[in-house]
Amino acid sequence: MKYKPVHRFDMSPKDMIKVQKQLAKEVKLIHFSDEPNLVSGVDLSFPKDEGLAVIVTMDFKKLSVIDVTYAVDKITLPYIPGLLAFRELPIFLKAWEKLEIEPDIVFFDGQGYAHPRRMGIATHASFFIEKPTIGIAKSKLIGEYEEPGKKKGEFTFLYHKDEKIGIVLRTRDNVKPVFVSPGNLVDFNNALDFTYHFATKYKIPEITRKAHLYTQSLKQR
């Protein structure tokens, strides 16, 4: 799959923040009205000085894996809190270039709109791949929320500075919730409904859980 080269990645942290703020003005949290057909889940890992990006594409209705694509490359940028996308996107885009199946929506193991500058990996990536995106995170980055009920499917909203930025979703009874946020070109209802569709018997929804499992398998090779 081709992508739009929105900006370079070798810049100072100050310039990275400027880019985030500029792109944040262009985020569109709009309703995705169709039922997806094919969707992809993305997981990234950084063993030692290398980066590994895995894209798992699944049939939305059948919940079956159709394709697994991955890329490995050297990592040049250090981990900087709040600027993770600048470290992760280059390796993800290498995997995206190898992808031959076009997904309707792309899920990321990470944040979307629930970011200090509303520019988590899922949101940032959408400008390059020009696809609707959703972030599914295991933990909260920022914000305040009321604990959702203990039953599967119960949820509350995550807020930051009085703005709704995400959803705190219980994917299993009596298990810690996941933190879901729209990336771009979807709204909060889409992010909730599409994520919950993949909440089967595990805490992590299948779309990013499968990607993580393939990541762990590839790391052991």
- Residues present in the chain in total: 221
The answer to whether 109 is a known ligand-binding residue is yes
* CA dist list (Å): 109 to 56, 129, 137, 143: 12, 16, 6, 18
Q: 46-61 as b/e, with b when 16 or more CB fall inside 10 Å?
A: eeeeebbbbbbbbebe
Q: How far apart are the first and last CA of the chain?
A: 26
* 34 among annotated binding-site residues: no
In order of 12, 33, 195, the CA distances from 186 in angstroms are 30, 9, 12
CA distance 35 to 52: 30
Q: Is the distance from CB of 139 to CB of 110 less than 8 angstroms?
A: no
Question: How far apart, in whole angstroms, are the C-alpha atoms of residue 72 and residue 152?
Answer: 36
Question: What are the φ/ψ torsions at residue 190 (nearest 5 degrees)?
Answer: -60, -50
**Binding site for Mg(2+): residue ranges?**
43, 109
**Binding site: residue ranges?**
43, 109
